[in-house]
Chains A and B, each alone.
Chain A
Amino acid sequence: MAEVKLAVYGAGGCSGCELTLLEDPLGFLDITAVARVVFWPLLVNDRLADLAELPDGSLAVAVVCGGLRTDQDLKVVELCRRKGRRLLAVGSCALWGGVPALVDLPPGFNGPLAAEPLPALLPRVLPVAQVVPVDGEVPGCPPVPGQLTRQVLAMLELADQPPTGERVLGLTDQPSAGETAVVCADCQRRREGGLTKWRRFPEVAVATGKCFLDQGLVCSGPATRGGCGARCPGAGVPCRGCYGPVPGVGDHGARLLSGLAAVLEPDGGEEGEGHRAVDLAGTLYRYTLAASLVLPAAKPR
Chain B
Amino acid sequence: MGRIVGFFCRWCGYTAADLAGVARRPLPVELVVVRVPCTGRVDPELVLEALQQGAAGVLVVGCRRGDCHYVSGNLEAEKRFKLLRLLLCQLGMEGRFQLQLISPSEVERLVEAAWQMVFQLRQGMPGRG
Residues of A within 8 A of B (CB): 105-107, 249-251, 253-255, 257-258, 260-262, 264, 266, 272, 274-275, 277, 279-281, 284, 292-294, 296-297
Give min CB distance, A288 to chain B, whole Å. Answer: 12
Q: Are B79 and A261 in contact (CB under 8 A)?
A: yes
B86 with A280: CB separation less than 8 A: yes
- Contacts A258-B43, A281-B87, A281-B91 given; 4 further ones with Cβ under 8 A? A105-B91, A106-B92, A264-B83, A281-B90
B87 & A280 in contact (Cβ 8 Å cutoff): yes
Contact for B79 among A249, A274, A277, CB less than 8 A: A274
Question: Which residues of B sit under 8 angstroms from A262, Cβ to Cβ?
Answer: 76, 79-80
Instruction: State whether A294 touches B91 (Cβ < 8 A).
Output: yes
Most A-side CB within 10 Å, residue of B78, B80, B83, B84: B83
| Residues A279 and B90 in contact, CB atoms below 8 Å apart | yes
Cβ-defined contact, A106 with B91, below 8 A: yes
* Complex interface: chain A residues within 8 A of B52 (CB): 293-294, 296-297
Closest to A107 in B: B92
Which of B43, B48, B76, B80 makes the CB contact (< 8 A) with A294? B48
Q: How far is the CA of A255 from the CA of B91 in the complex (A)?
A: 17
Q: Say yes or no: A258 contacts B44, CB within 8 Å.
A: yes
| Cβ of A286 to closest chain B Cβ, rounded Å | 13
A250 to B49, CA, bound (A): 9
User: A275-B86, A277-B83 given as contacts; is B49 within 8 A of A266 (CB)?
Assistant: no
Q: Is the CB of A280 within 8 A of B45?
A: no
Please give the distance in Å from B34's CB to the nearest CB on chain A.
Answer: 17
Cβ contacts A to B, 14 pairs, < 8 Å:
A106-B92, A250-B49, A251-B45, A251-B48, A251-B49, A254-B43, A257-B87, A258-B44, A261-B79, A266-B78, A274-B79, A293-B52, A296-B52, A297-B52
